[in-house]
Amino acid sequence: MSRFLSSRRLQNDSTQAPQPRYDDVVYNDRVSETLDNGEDGKSDVLKLRPSDSSTMGDRNPLVAVETHQKSSRLRDCTGDYINVRSRPYVMKLLEKQGDRKILFADKVLKFTCSGKMKYRVLLVTDFAIYIVDPDTYSLKRRVALAAVEKLCLSELTDNFFAIIIPTEYDLLMASTRKTEIAAVFVETTKSASEYELEVSRSNRFEYNAAAEIVKEVQFEEVEGGVRTRILRK
């Protein structure tokens, strides 16, 4: 527990950036949705373009599945951009956990502790966060909302956000709907209790990519978008 809590120190923008000891990966946002090698052949460049529900549907590997029975438990789908009702395996997964209200559902990019990017489906209910594999519909992770300490976002127009979970390792993801996701987290937490979830905005923050791996995300406004740098400390 202590190794998670001791590393949770949010640095302000005036703090001098530490020299990277290991990986140094740069992402340039908001141009297209492809992963290419940088000009130097070493750094990866992630470019995301804003999406809407129609284009997301075309690109979503969760192809529509005809369902013969609609669950009465999953009636409230307010921010469902992948049509969860047409995904019987996902619905069955949520029912098994006893969740009834879907507040958000969309495809996101999740960053692994090694720096790789994987498409995942992010589901937010009134009780928990679900990370689901879009190809196999298998549950990769479930985190109770009560376990979330805060959200970390930059002050710029990038797509990155981190979910800080003191009792586990954190989540770093990218979505063109990050503002909506943050709003859902805050409103849900506030309605479920008197506690208001902290949303920390800084152009530099740390997160625990794994039990013994701390990374720092740095944001810099450049011509044409935002440059995002992820450093392993």
Q: Which residue has the higher pLDDT, 191 or 47?
A: 191
| DSSP category for residue 10 | P
Lowest mean pLDDT among 38-47, 153-162, 167-176, 198-207: 38-47
DSSP run (H or E) holding 25: strand 24-28
Mean pLDDT value across residues 17-32: 43
Q: Is the pLDDT of residue 78 over 90?
A: no
Rounded to two decimals, what is the model's pTM? 0.71
Distance, in Å, from the CA atom of 123 to the CA atom of 33, rounded to the nearest integer, reads 21
pLDDT (0 to 100) of residue 4? 37
Which residues contact residue 68 at a Cβ distance below 8 angstroms, ignoring those fewer than 6 apart?
A: none
Which residues contact residue 112 at a Cβ distance below 8 angstroms, ignoring those fewer than 6 apart?
A: 118, 209
Distance, in Å, from the CA atom of 47 to the CA atom of 31, rounded to the nearest integer, reads 5
pLDDT (0 to 100) of residue 27? 56
Confidence of residue 14 (pLDDT cuts 50, 70, 90): very low
pLDDT (0 to 100) of residue 191? 84
Answer yes or no: CATH 3.20.20.80 is held by domain 2-8+18-232.
no
> pLDDT tens for residues 137-150?
899 999 999 999 99
Q: What spatial distance separates the first Cα and last Cα of the chain, rounded to whole Å?
A: 19
pLDDT over 90 percentage in the chain:
51
List the chain domain ranges.
2-8+18-232
Question: Cα separations (Å) of 52 from 58, 80, 82, 108, 214?
Answer: 10, 12, 11, 13, 33
Distance, in Å, from the CA atom of 48 to the CA atom of 180, rounded to the nearest integer, reads 17
Which residues contact residue 49 at a Cβ distance below 8 angstroms, ignoring those fewer than 6 apart?
A: 30, 31, 32, 33, 176
The torsion region of residue 98 among left (phi > 0), alpha (psi -120 to 50) and beta comes to left
Type of residue found at 129: I
> pLDDT tens for residues 28-73?
543 333 333 334 433 334 444 433 333 334 333 222 222 223 333 4
Distance, CA of 66 to chain centre? 28
